[in-house]
Structure 1
């Protein structure tokens, strides 16, 4: 089955902030690799959306929220949902953040 991929504005903002942080604290090559890895992981989720695990950290009116790590950047998590034939990327952030706190805002943001 072909799934349509939607990357929510908040997830795009997350990616920009994370890449900027990596750029400032690392180097431009790593920041570019991060963005490319995120894009490749999004495509992977589009092809096989069920591979991520359902997070139990939040109960959302959005339904089941899944998570998956960015390839080669294992500390960075993608949170997404599957609805019919659509994969929606909701948020992307570092796993050291208070995940439950960030995800509790999902219903308000979307």
Structure 2
């Protein structure tokens, strides 16, 4: 069963910012590959949403938040939640970020 996929606006903004950073500091081909890999990974999560690691750092009012790495770009993390038959992509961050800060940002935004 495929879950319905929702990519929140903030996650789309994150992807654009990260791709722009890669473009400026790397090259256009890598930035395009990054965006394509994110899309493939989102589709993979829609097929198998439970594969992501459940985040236990803080209790979120959003419920259970999971994380998964972007395929072939392991330094970039997708934060998402599963609700009924929907997978919501909440944010996408570089893995060097402090996860406690990331999760507190999620709670503030939603």
TM-score tier by shorter-chain length is over 0.9
Question: Which aligned segments of 4 or more residues in structure 1 are displaced greater than 3 angstroms?
Answer: none
Other structure's SS at 1:105 match? helix
Do structure 1's residue 40 and structure 2's residue 36 form an aligned pair? no
- How does 1:17-28 map onto structure 2 within 5 Å? 17-28=17-28
Question: What TM-score comes out, normalization by structure 1 length?
Answer: 0.97
TM-score (norm 2): 0.97
Provide the aligned length of Structure 1 versus Structure 2. 110
What displacement does 1:98 show?
Answer: 1.1
Aligned equivalent of 2:104? 104
Structure 1 gap ranges (5+): none
TM alignment of 1:84-103, pairs within 5 A: 84-103=84-103
Cα distance in 1 for partners of 2:38, 2:91 equals 12
Q: Give ranges in structure 2 of 5+ residues lacking alignment.
A: none
CA distance in structure 1 between the partners assigned to 2:80 and 2:102 by the alignment: 13
